[in-house]
Amino acid sequence: MARRKTKNITGLARIEGIPYHDAWVGFICLSCGSLNNIRIGLQLLDPKTTYETAEWKCSKCGYLHSKNSDLPFENWSEDFTVAESIKAQRFWEAFFRIATEHPESYWKQCNACGRILPFAAFSKHSGWGPLERQMECRSCKGAINAVLNQKRTKEQLHESSVRRRIADLLLEGENKTINIADLFKRFDSRCFKIKHLLDINKRDTWEIDHILPSRWLYPLTRENAALLSTEANNNKRDKWPSEFYTNNELIELAKITGADLGLLAGKTPVINTDINVDKCVERYLRVRERSHLPKRINELKKILKDYNLVNKLSPKHRKLLGFTK
């Protein structure tokens, strides 16, 4: 059966003529330093074949990037720059490999603003083209979400708020104190996502990311904490790690934190059931107004059932909430 046509409900007009699945390569001209992008379509390049056949011409100065070209570095000796030399050939092999070896090396054109941007500027979308990235860049996605979030129903917004509130209560007492100096040392004082240097004393510029989100009931611990810039953390929000981080980043994150790579790389969120649900019930049912109690009971029961946590309750609390016959 043919896949149904994608419907645009974002409110943001798309640019006609942009093949939103296509991949691009990007390279800096060796001669003039200009950034160049070349559309390659739906098939990613093979590094070895690219090295053998590519002729990438700079759109500004016309220098031809090819294994048959002499290197234009005036400060290098001729035995390094002449195309026939083994040294130049090794350079060209690495040059084309850097641009084509991994999906993360490629670029993509945003269907909303038209810019050609690096792989990391687009959020994940499984099955969408060779790069499996969304058609809009993350900047445009921010504008789109401002529209779509307003279209969510009152009930949807309320349910999301309830889930977060109950998740926070579930994790109360489970979160660990994070040694900030140790966190900065382990992440080399840089945002793990965008690699910008961060100042530990400028608290409004950095955040501690729940790598595995609290929404799925994972507490903040040394193994579940990453250093992100405020901007990157806002983009991450409640996303599962594999939705936000690249494969290489997930591997590096597991090495730094000691987290379970298999869990981080999973496509589907996994609820953490290794928590004290009884404590949550006790905290959540503490209300000042008696009229609020029935509402809280219903909210709590729904979340416990949705998260498959009923069997984690003690017999006393199962009976209290009406889960026993």
CA distance 217 to 190: 27
List 38's β-bridge partners, or say none. Answer: 25
- In three-state form (DSSP H/G/I as H, E/B as E, the rest C), the secondary structure along 125-155 is CCCCCCCCECCCCHHHHHHHHHHHHHHCCHH
- Return the residue matching tokens 């199962």: 318
> Domain ranges in the chain?
23-141, 175-265
Kindly give the residue spans of alpha helices, DSSP state H, lying in 187-246.
Answer: 230-236, 241-244
Mean pLDDT on 41-55: 96
79 by DSSP, 3-state: which? helix
What pLDDT shows up at residue 302?
Answer: 83
Whether the per-residue pLDDT at 41 is higher than 90: the answer is yes
Residue with the two structure tokens 């294994």: 67
pLDDT in tens, 199-217: 999 988 899 999 998 888 8
pLDDT tens digits for 269-283?
A: 898 888 888 887 887
Mean pLDDT for all residues in the chain:
86
Type of residue numbered 239: K
In this prediction, residues 40-44 reach a mean pLDDT of 93
Mean pLDDT of 234-255: 90
In this prediction, residues 67-81 reach a mean pLDDT of 97
pLDDT digits (tens, 9 = 90+) for 176-201: 889 999 999 999 999 999 888 999 99
- Axis-axis angle for helices 154-171, 293-306 (nearest 10): 80
Residues 6 or more apart in contact with residue 97 via CB below 8 angstroms: 47, 51
d(CA 59, CA 75): 24
- Dist. CA 110–CA 135, nearest whole Å: 6
**Which band of pLDDT confidence, cut at 50, 70 and 90, is reported for residue 141?**
confident
pTM of the model: 0.51
